[in-house]
Amino acid sequence: MKNWVLASLLALIGLASCGKRHQNKIIILQPKEELVIRLDTLSTRGILYGHQDDPFYGVTWQWDRNERSDTKELLGDYPAVMGFDLGGIELGDSCNLDTVPFEWIRKEAIAQYYRGGFITFSWHPRNPRTGGNAWDVSDTTVVRNILPGGEQHELFVEWMGKVAAFLKTLKTTEGISIPFIFRPWHEYNGSWFWWGYKLCSDDEFKALWNMFQDYMNTEMPRNIVWAFSPNLQGFWNDELFMCRYPGNDRVNIIGCDAYQWGTEKDFIAGFTTDVNYLDSVAKANKKIFAITECGMQNSPTPDWWSRVFFPCLGEHHVSYFLPWRNWHKEHFGFSKDVSTADDVKELYNQKRFRIVTEITDQMGFSGRSSSEIIWM
Ligand code: BMA
């Protein structure tokens, strides 16, 4: 982003937050630039709560289309960030891999944008070589074979086309494509997805990232904010991190997917180490830092968020944290129906995190481009 654009916008934000709206200043930004600036500015003011599939189902309900949301039922409004998954779009399916209709995803993403919140997409595509799912790691040549010249390259280009075609339908009422975060090839440092660590070389992984990103950026040059999202590692160092980092010109957000699967002690040690390392890389490279997925399955520990999760974040400026979906058999997020409800309410009252209510007016503009900001 050009520095003068940032400087002008920050000046505008400053004026707006002082209560004096600056009527005459017009800022011209790409939608994705505005999204990055909003996230960046908000991250100095507190962490945003995000949740996967928030409006489709909760711990004790599912497929209710009456504006239900576990977040809203516990805290009064929707999460600041909503996550949706596109797995299945590549086959032309009408529902994603978790049986959510893509039409609902489209409507909810637009609604989230209009209420001033953020949207993030992940994609768990099928295995383009074997026909299995994203977790099918039986073939170690998948990435190589979808790159140019590979046996499944043409098929994969078709798949990318389906992703782009769907995302292009996310439009304002004026017909302008809305901005969103895309988080492809997440948890690449583990080996449970076909694009994982042992399933491809560093060069193949980077070529995959570049091919997908270049394709999508050609289709939607003004709309996509890119999140690079490794899994909890516990022992990062520059050599290990940089070998698959796509490069500063290709990443806006450095994330971390962090679940407690084992002991609390191990999680705290690993997560604290990773937050320190990944945030330092983010800061050094002028990137936004976020906890792009997180949680403890089925919330067995009532004070997990206040006693385990938040202390690991320390004083770092974290943009958002996004617990995974509240599917009844495997739920991770906030809900009035789980043991963490009181703890979460207390944290919210202490302003330790924000939902969508708190991010819309504070900066002088909402999720929609304000009268002072013109999208180009
Ligand atoms: C995983 C699990 C799966 C789900 C997938 C995509 O972490 O929750 O059940 O299909 O994410 O949402």
Q: What is the pLDDT of residues 178-187, one digit of tens each?
A: 999 999 999 9
Where are the alpha helices (H) located in 179-308, listed in sequence order?
A: 202-219, 238-242, 264-284
Residue 363: the pLDDT is: 46
pLDDT in tens, 41-73: 888 889 999 999 999 999 999 999 889 999 999
Nearest to 290 by CA among 42, 98, 13: 42
Distances (CA, A) of 198 to 138, 140, 150, 168, 274: 11, 8, 19, 33, 21
Atom of ligand 1 nearest to the CA of 293: 7
End-to-end CA gap in the chain: 13
Residue 23: the pLDDT is: 53
Q: How far is ligand 1, taken at its centre, from the CA of residue 85, in Å?
A: 9
Residue 361: the pLDDT is: 53
Nearest alpha carbon, ligand 1 atom 3: 98
Distances (CA, A) of 128 to 124, 154, 173: 11, 10, 35
Which of the listed residues 51, 325, 326 should we mutate to test ligand 1's pocket, taking the one with most ligand atoms within 8 A of CB? 325
Cβ of 98 below 6 Å from ligand 1: yes
Task: Give me the count of residues in the chain.
Answer: 376
Nearest to 100 by CA among 117, 114, 90, 86: 86
Q: What's the pTM? A: 0.92
Average of per-residue pLDDT values in the chain = 91
Tokens of 290: 């976020």
Nearest alpha carbon, ligand 1 atom 8: 325
Q: How far is ligand 1, taken at its centre, from the CA of residue 312, in Å?
A: 25
Question: Is the pLDDT score of 11 beyond 60?
Answer: no
Cβ of 97 below 6 Å from ligand 1: yes
By CB neighbour count within 10 A (0-12 exposed, 13-18 middle, 19+ buried), where does 301 fall? Answer: middle
Nearest alpha carbon, ligand 1 atom 10: 98
pLDDT in tens, 332-369: 999 999 999 999 999 999 999 999 998 875 444 444 55
Please give the backbone phi and psi of residue 354, each rounded to the nearest 5 degrees, phi first: -125, 145
Residue 371: the pLDDT is: 58
Nearest to 305 by CA among 290, 289, 321: 321
CB atoms under 10 Å from CB of 214, counted, come to 12
Atom of ligand 1 nearest to the CA of 53: 12
Q: Pairing mode, if any, of strands 326-327 and 330-331?
A: antiparallel
